Structure 1
Amino acid sequence: MEKATFAGGCFWCMVKPFDQWDGIESVISGYMGGHVENPTYEDVKKGDSGHLEVVQIQFDPSIFTYEQLLEIFWQQIDPTDDGGQFQDRGDSYKTAIFTHSDKQVELANMSKQALANSGRFSKPIVTPIRPAETFYIAEDYHQDYYKKEPDHYAEDRAMSGRDEFIQENWKK
């Protein structure tokens, strides 16, 4: 098993896209990249901790590759927005790829460059690629939120503008 960690704005919206594939062992909501030990959701949301909301994925690379995870990640975010994602604004909702190995750094950089070269977006790709740091698991009520609170999840996601952005920018 390997780990992949992505910040894509609200972690509630980042679990489901990864959670449905063979080879994905788990998708855990949490926090990474800040300066406070054991941050709470309130610390992160207020911006006091420096952390981003992330999902950490345990996956079997022989079944589902890191390249496939990167492809899903890019298609869930606005990689040109450095102020947060969709309705969620602020540093804790910024995007990032946190890498766990030199190979992940190489693959993440290649995928970012390919996206930049694709011409899909008129603005620059601003999502940083950073070394993974300590991962703090979010509070239990955040885990698998789309399953635990399907009505609230659907309502929040519908109001966010994320799905419209995905539809507009990732049409097949």
Structure 2
Amino acid sequence: MEKKATFAGGCFWCMVRPFDEQPGIHRVISGYTGGHTENPTYEEVCSETTGHREAVQITYDPEVFSYEKMLDIFWSQIDPTDPGGQFHDRGESYKTAVYYHDEEQKALAEASRDRIDQSSRFQKPVVTDILPAKTFYEAETYHQDYYRKHPLHYKMYNRGSGRAGFIDKYWRGEHESK
């Protein structure tokens, strides 16, 4: 039985690779969710007028790869204390969120967020939203699997944005981001 998981972690280019090619992960799609505009384009989402966030939607087999593992990977790829976006990407469209598809996902997401918030890992409170899943719109083809299509640019962006350095500092050794 396949299930879906949806995460907004800033730039969706950087959220595909950590989940891609894991056992039990069938597909990772870059797209937009959470807003009020139907079929938004990248330019519309970036204009901050649609209410959407860049996100990834993952189709997976929960018997092979648990939602809890997915949450662990998600948290280890973001700065959950940043209320204004992620790293150099600023604005509503880059804010973090877990979009739950059922009550079990909601409970697991809230529990994982609370564990991180109560840990001594960060000086500031965790502000990542946990919201009900809404319609997910697949991003344009050129955004899909960006890390594979443009490996050098992806690597430069991941480092230049500050994401790689943050992950190394706060999450070293946990679900490496490459």
* Deviation per residue, 1:101-127 (Å, 9 max, x gap): 000001001101111111111100000
- Rounded Cα–Cα distance in structure 2 between residues aligned with 1:111 and 1:165: 20
Instruction: Give ranges in structure 2 of 5+ residues lacking alignment.
Output: 174-178
In structure 2, the residue matched to 1:45 is: 46
In the TM superposition, 1:97-116 aligns within 5 A as 97-116=98-117
Are 1:79 and 2:80 matched, yes or no?
Answer: yes
In structure 1, the residue matched to 2:8 is: 7
Say what the alpha-carbon RMSD is for the aligned residues: 0.7
Instruction: Give ranges in structure 1 of 5+ residues lacking alignment.
Output: none
One-letter amino acid of the counterpart of residue 140, structure 1? T
Q: Segments of 4+ in structure 1 off by > 3 A?
A: none
Shift of 1:171: 2.8
In structure 2, the residue matched to 1:30 is: 31
Between the two proteins, what is the percent identity of the paired residues? 59
Are 1:157 and 2:158 matched, yes or no?
Answer: yes
Q: How many residues align?
A: 172
One-letter amino acid of the counterpart of residue 82, structure 2? D
Report the CA distance shift for 1:171/1:157 in structure 2 as closer, same or farther (over 3 A).
Answer: closer
- Rounded Cα–Cα distance in structure 1 between residues aligned with 2:172 and 2:138: 33
One-letter amino acid of the counterpart of residue 109, structure 1? E
Q: Higher mean Cα deviation, 157-166 or 69-78?
A: 157-166
Shift of 1:150: 1.1
One-letter amino acid of the counterpart of residue 139, structure 1? E
Shift of 1:15: 0.2
Which SS does the other structure have where 1:13 is aligned?
helix
One-letter amino acid of the counterpart of residue 26, structure 1? R
Which SS does the other structure have where 1:112 is aligned?
helix
* Deviation per residue, 1:75-101 (Å, 9 max, x gap): 000000010000111110000000000
Shift of 1:134: 0.4
- Rounded Cα–Cα distance in structure 2 between residues aligned with 1:27 and 1:74: 17
The TM-score, its normalising length taken from structure 1, stands at 0.98
- Rounded Cα–Cα distance in structure 2 between residues aligned with 1:93 and 1:61: 27
